[in-house]
Structures are given as C-alpha cells and as structure tokens.
Amino acid sequence: MQTAKRFSELPLTKAMLDNLSNLGYLEMTEIQAASIPVMLEQQDLIAQAKTGSGKTAAFGIGILSKLNPSYFATQALVVCPTRELAEQVSNELRRLARAIGNVKILTLCGGTPMRPQIASLEHGAHIVVGTPGRLLDHIGRNSLNLATVQTLVLDEADRMVDMGFFEDIVGIVAACSPRRQTLLFSATYPNDMRNASASFLRNPVEVKVESQH
Ligand code: ADP
Ligand code: MG
C-alpha cells in the first residue's frame, strides 16, 4: 500500500497549511492527492471519485491557491446541482478561505428572491457558488459578470446532467473568460458527458479514484 500523502508535501503557503491542520486535514484523501497537483499546474481537470471523498476541499484548495483577495472581482465560479450542495460548498470554502483573509463568497440559488441577490452582486464577491438556472438568470440580466473568472468548477457534473442542466451549463461556460481553468468533479463520467464536455475543457487531465477514500 502507498503511504498517505500529507498536505505539507504540497507547495501551499504556511497560512493555508496551518488552516488545513486546524480543520483536522493532515493527510490528503486519494482524490485530493491525485487532483491538487494537477490544479496547481493550472491544467484543466476531470476528477472522478465517489461521494464523501473530499472533492470540495480539493477544488477549494485549487481555487484559493490562486485567488487574489485584494482584487475584488469574481475570480472563481462553482456550479452545483442543488441549493443544499451549493450551501455546503460555500461553507467549506469559507472554512478553507480563513487562511487568506477577507474572501467574500456569495451563494446564488433559485427559490429565493432575485432582488437581494442582485443587491449583493452590486457589492461584488471573490467567489460565486450557485445552481445553474439562477446563475443563468443573473447572466441574462447582466447582474453577474463572469469575464474575470479564472477558475470554473462544475461540481457533481453527472448529477447536473441527469437533472437536465446541460444546456444551462453551456450558457454559463460561454459567459466565463476563455482564459479560465476548468475543473469538472463528478462521481461518474459517462461517455455522453465526455463528448459533451469536450468543448469546454482544454486538454484536461483525468484522475479517477475507485477505492474507499
Ligand atoms: P465529496 O464532495 O467528495 O462528496 P466532501 O467534500 O463533502 O466530499 O467531503 C466529505 C467529508 O470529508 C467532509 O466532512 C470534509 O470535511 C471531510 N474531509 C475532506 N478532506 C479531508 C481530509 N483531507 N482529511 C479529513 N477530512 C476531510
Ligand atoms: Mg461534493
């Protein structure tokens, strides 16, 4: 068996490593060990691992390692299938972001009024997390500007496709900067999704973890 890899083996800042250890994250899960180095090289990524394997912290570290807190623009966008998942992702990102100071994270999901979200967007955010329909709604109204996005994450991509969100995702991707890094996280990666996502990934590295961790 391979020995477990620790976060301290990665080229992360001391503040990030201290915060991870405060969160009780010392050893990387398998998908973290496989995917974080790829993200740190700024490559596009398809990461496949089952639920509970620590995918949120994986892309969270990818996002935060290049986020500039003193540049107040939407530098990262995370698209999730449901409101509950978007809220969980925002909470995990907030815990991880303690390492780099004042990072504003905004959650944009359906089922809540538009107007307060538009007001929050006028104030801006470093990271936006949301569900496809509502994100597309904001894009259509010009209340969400994604031209500054450097990292785009499609979380639980297989579920989003199953739920019929593929066309919405195409619209969201088109609104993001073409210079972005795109990260696709999924529990499964069926062939139809492989074909469909080829248009918005640039030479992606594929990592897949089949086992328990
Ligand atoms: P996934 O998105 O793969 O379903 P999550 O990102 O929700 O998984 O993570 C599952 C749980 O594992 C969370 O409670 C998270 O806090 C915890 N976790 C993530 N990474 C680590 C780690 N390196 N060490 C310990 N716990 C971790
Ligand atoms: Mg997840």
Which ipTM score applies to this complex?
A: 0.99
Range name among 34-38, 149-153, 170-174, 207-211 with the lowest pLDDT average: 207-211
Number of domains in the chain: 1
- Under the banding of pLDDT at 50, 70 and 90, the label for residue 189 is confident
The C-alpha atoms of residue 62 and residue 202 are separated, in whole angstroms, by: 17
Domain residues for 47? 36-208
CATH label of the domain that carries residue 134: 3.40.50.300
**1, part of any domain:** no
Ligand nearest to the CA of 47: 1
* CB 29 near ligand 1, within 6 Å: yes
**9, part of any domain:** no
pLDDT, tens digit (0-9, with 9 covering 90-100), for 7-24? 999 999 999 999 999 999
Determine how many CB atoms are found less than 10 A away from the CB of residue 83: 17
The C-alpha atoms of residue 188 and residue 182 are separated, in whole angstroms, by: 17
**71, part of any domain:** yes
Q: How far is the CA of 155 from the centre of ligand 2 (A)?
A: 7
Q: Which of 5, 23, 53, 92 to mutate to test the pocket of ligand 1 (most atoms within 8 A of CB)?
A: 53
Q: How far is the CA of 25 from the centre of ligand 1 (A)?
A: 9
Residue nearest to atom 22 of ligand 1 (CA): 25
**124, part of any domain:** yes
Q: How far is the CA of 160 from the centre of ligand 1 (A)?
A: 20
**68, part of any domain:** yes
Find how far residue 17's CA is from the centre of its chain.
Answer: 19
**14, part of any domain:** no
Range name among 25-39, 115-129, 136-150, 181-195 with the lowest pLDDT average: 181-195
Q: How far is the CA of 49 from the centre of ligand 1 (A)?
A: 12
Residues, beta carbon < 5 Å, ion ligand 2: 55
Task: For residue 170, give Cα distances in angstroms to 58, 135, 158, 182, 205.
Answer: 24, 12, 14, 13, 20
Q: How far is the CA of 85 from the centre of ligand 2 (A)?
A: 7
**106, part of any domain:** yes
**11, part of any domain:** no
